[in-house]
Homo-oligomer: A and B are copies of this chain.
Amino acid sequence: MVSNRQKQILKAIIDLYVETAEPISSKALAEYMNLGLSTATLRNEMAVLLEQGYLEQPHTSAGRVPTHKGYRLYVNELMHAYHITKEDTEAVQSALQAQQQSLSPSYFSPPELDHLLNEASRALSALTRYTAITVSTKLNGMMEIRRIDIVICDDITFVFVVVLGAGVVRNKLYRMIHPVPRQQAEDLAALLNRVLAGTRPGEITPLQITILESTTEEGTKELLAAAIDFLKELSMEIYEQDIRLKGEGNLLDYPEYQDVGKARELLDFLGESAATSWLPLPTTSSVVFRIGNENLAKPLQEASLIVARCPLAGGNTGYVGIVGPTRMHYPRLAARLSFFAKGLTRMLQDIIDEDDTDRPENTPPPTREKQGEEPN
């Protein structure tokens, strides 16, 4: 049981500790809280919190430091909503706008998205002074195939080109063993369009495959197999995540990582890990925290993660987050992160909208439901 007053004390300790990075004494706390309470009373309460595992002592005659459990209680119940300042707003917006300008309005390709998110990471790490993480799927699973084409290089070399929604284009070159006559390749392209246009790569049905296979003449079986291979690869990409880290050096600013050994351990882990297994991905629009030993990975045991969801074009989801020592200003960072994620979403939405507004009549209508939002 934690009394209300104890919670207030815990909150004050954490707020103060986050600021000073030094163990909090009963005296400092009394001054900071400015209630009518004496240090002795606070010491008693602190002793209870210590007993319950919300605080710990570096050594007998030192102040108290929050434990991971303490931080957890803090983010769950105690922290105030942080109202981002005008400076925050402006910093985020100017950072995003700088990126937006570099995007040509009529064009949006995966490497460009990659570059954009790279820059966004950079901006985020500069903004928060922590190491920034962004995650996105390689391919947006909600985009349907608009068009498939086969570029014929020679009679055994073909490039499949798939144009998806929002101007995303993917291609892959295949080389056949047996030559394929030009006409047959063109026929196959037409067939692929007929059968697959309007479908999402992840949602191609066995029925469609069957139709393709049964309609295809003998000479293009190999080419069709290549096409199916390509589409399968595309559909895999929907589940592959791109992860980017920026501002690793920021960690070295914090007293927690003055020990080079600690810093190296974490930096190595972050550098090696292409996987997102250690990253909590929030399923709602709220920010998620993973504090200290809540992390399974050893190098993260003394670190915290804050991650926000960031809806990208057409129902796809990206994530932005930060890593740092457990002693971080959770409410402020959560607010900034959330604001940043929203800004990024809006910005990408703008681009997509621009691309989708004048959807032509001769392409199949989108099957997806639009979210009910006011048009821009």
Contacts and interface: CB of A to CB of B under 8 A. Distances in A.
A106 interface: yes
A73 interface: no
A153 B147 contact: yes
Contact of A271 (B147, B173, B249, B260): B249
A287 B361 CA distance: 59
* Max chain B Cβ within 10 angstroms of own Cβ: one of A106, A110, A355: A106
Interface stretch (A45-53, A164-172, A308-316): A164-172
Interface stretch (A27-35, A262-270, A333-341): A262-270
A253 interface: yes
Interface stretch (A12-20, A89-97, A155-163): A155-163
Given A106-B175, A258-B260, A260-B257, A362 B154 contact: yes
Copies in the complex: 2
A11 interface: no
A365 interface: no
A247 B271 contact: yes
Contacts of A108: 173
B249 A174 contact: no
A303 to B, nearest CB: 15
A348 to B, nearest CB: 16
A285 interface: no
Contacts of A68: none
A111 interface: yes
Contacts of A367: none
Contacts of A151: 147, 149, 161, 163, 169
A146 interface: yes
Contact of A109 (B155, B173, B258): B173
Interface string A228-247: 00000000000000000011
A58 interface: no
A360 interface: yes
A248 interface: yes
Interface string A105-131: 011111100000000000000000000
* Interface size of A as a range: 35 or more
Contacts of A209: none
Contacts of A111: 110-111
Given A249-B271, A271-B247, A161 B155 contact: no
A146 B154 CA distance: 10
A161 B167 contact: no
Given A107-B173, A151-B161, A171-B171, A267 B252 contact: yes
A363 interface: yes
Nearest to A167: B173
A23 B359 CA distance: 72
Nearest to A162: B151
A169 B163 contact: no
Interface in A173-216: 173-175
29 contacts: A107-B172, A107-B173, A107-B174, A109-B173, A111-B111, A149-B149, A149-B151, A149-B161, A151-B161, A151-B169, A153-B163, A154-B361, A155-B360, A156-B360, A159-B163, A159-B169, A163-B173, A169-B173, A175-B355, A246-B271, A248-B267, A248-B271, A249-B264, A249-B268, A252-B263, A252-B264, A253-B264, A257-B260, A258-B260
